[in-house]
Amino acid sequence: MRAALALARRGLGNAWPNPAVGCVLVRNGQVVGRGWTQPGGRPHAETEALRRAGSRARGATAYVTLEPCSHHGRTPPCCNALAEAGVARVVMAMRDPDARVNGRGLAMLRDAGIVVEEGLLEREARALNAGFFRRIQSGLPVVTLKLATTLDGRIATAAGESRWITGPEARREVHAMRARHDAVLVGSGTALADDPDLTCRIPGMERVPMLRVVADARLRTPVTAGLVRTARIAPTSIVTAPGHPPAALAPFIAAGVEVMTAPAAEAGLDLAALLAALARRGVTRVLAEGGAGMAAALLRAGLVDRLAWFHAAGVMGAEGRPAAEGLHLAALAAMPRFRRVALRALGADVLTEFERIEEV
């Protein structure tokens, strides 16, 4: 199951709207097939593993990180495929909460005479596809907020200079992080100031299904921005407030940008509504990359599930621009708090990862 989880991880950031599933087929103590959910969500992991195993799947045990599907989608259910291949036993980490499956897969396998066990490494499997489960259960994706700051939490000098605060190792890690997410989100201020690319440029890790999303209530993004000009190569969505005249949207649509709307809020857009719109589009994992207004708004709304904070060993002082602006804390008790889950040195920088502490 650990091997199946490692395979599943390969699908993070490109299996959406489907969960990233892994499958290992074992016969007589030997691995005879391995598979994971393919880009765009099909073929499923089990199909891939069975294809590789061929006739060696007969009598094998399938270790799957999620309950095999029982519904007819673009292809017949994985349960049928497992039964037809003669798989003798299926060990699944957990059930699939998708309403079309949710226990039906398990029943189908048992009806076919297959021995079924569930719950092996369930916690790990749940964490791996937290985004998919969140989308199914509450119509939102999970959100990682990425920040790259000085030791005193600054993201740019007073003059706006920010390239580069962190070194090449940290920046490469940001690219890898993008590849593991379904969508990368920035505010229009960042799109204007940095003209970022927001792709993963690590060879072999480019992710075509990844969405680049600009939250832009006032439609300030210039049509000449890189994100707009490259929209046909790497998909770009602009989420804006309703009510802009069609003529204002037309140049973006003509450039291949997907224009979505979300209700406006005091400063910008209602980010919960924006995230819900992305979830309806199939997005399960969002990497928010700034700027300071977006970071504060996400934190204030309690929408940050995970923090990825890169610290460069430098100091800018209070004149530098802060990482989160507009948090408006009423009291210390209201401060968003996180639990550290990982700590790593990257060149001269440090990456600390945190998880939200759920209120009890």
Give the C-alpha separation, 253 to 211, whole Å: 15
Q: Is 94 in the site for ligand AOF (CB under 6 A)?
A: no
Say which amino acid occupies 174.
V
Taking a C-beta distance cutoff of 8 angstroms, is the pair 238, 252 a contact?
Answer: yes
Query: Of 44 and 212, which has the nearer Cβ to ligand AOF?
Result: 44
Residue 86 is a binding residue for ligand AOF (CB under 6 A): no
- From the list Zn ion, ligand AOF, none, which binds 13 (C-beta under 5 to 8 Å, kind-based)? none
For tokens 């804390």, the residue is 329
Residues 6+ apart with CB under 8 A from 1: 24, 63, 65, 91, 93, 120, 121
Q: Is 19 in the site for ligand AOF (CB under 6 A)?
A: yes
Annotated binding-site residue? 190: yes
Is residue 74 part of the contact set for ligand AOF (CB under 6 A)? yes
Is 46 marked active-site?
yes
**Which of 69, 91, 94, 286 forms a contact with Zn ion (CB under 5 A)?**
69
Nearest approach in angstroms of CB 105 to ligand AOF is 7
Nearer to ligand AOF, 50 or 288 (CB): 50
Q: What phi and psi values does residue 217 have, to the nearest 5 degrees?
A: -55, -40
**Separation CA 188–CA 215 (nearest Å):** 6
Q: How many helices (H) and strands (E) does the chain have?
A: 12, 18
Nearer to ligand AOF, 132 or 338 (CB): 132
Give the interface segment with ligand AOF, choosing from 44-52, 137-145, 278-286, 343-351 (CB under 6 A).
Answer: 44-52
Judged by phi (left if over 0) then psi (alpha if -120 to 50, else beta), residue 290 lies in left
Q: Looking at 1, 26, 60, 78, which residue binds ligand AOF (CB under 6 A)?
A: 78
Residue whose CB is less far from Zn ion, 45 or 294: 45
Q: Is 44 in the site for Zn ion (CB under 5 A)?
A: yes
Choose between 97 and 196: whose C-beta lies nearer to ligand AOF.
97
d(CA 77, CA 8): 19
Closest by Cα among 241, 296, 251 to 273: 241
Give the whole-angstrom CA distance, residue 137 versus residue 174.
28
Size of the site for ligand AOF (CB under 6 A): 19
Q: Is 199 in the site for ligand AOF (CB under 6 A)?
A: no
* Interface mask toward Zn ion for 74-103; x: CB under 5 A: ----x-------------------------
Contact present, 37 and 20 (Cβ < 8 Å): yes
Question: Does residue 45 belong to the site contacting ligand AOF (CB under 6 A)?
Answer: yes
Are 46 and 35 in contact, with CB atoms under 8 Å apart? yes
What's the Cα-to-Cα distance from 222 to each of 192, 226, 249, rounded to whole Å? 8, 9, 11
Question: By the criterion CB under 5 A, which residues form the site for Zn ion?
Answer: 44, 69, 78
- The catalytic residues are 46
Question: By the criterion CB under 6 A, which residues form the site for ligand AOF?
Answer: 15, 18-19, 21, 37, 41-42, 44-46, 66, 68-69, 73-74, 78, 96, 98, 101
Return binding residues. 44, 69, 78, 148, 162, 164, 178, 190, 194, 198, 201, 289, 291-297
Return binding residues for substrate. 162, 178, 198, 201, 289
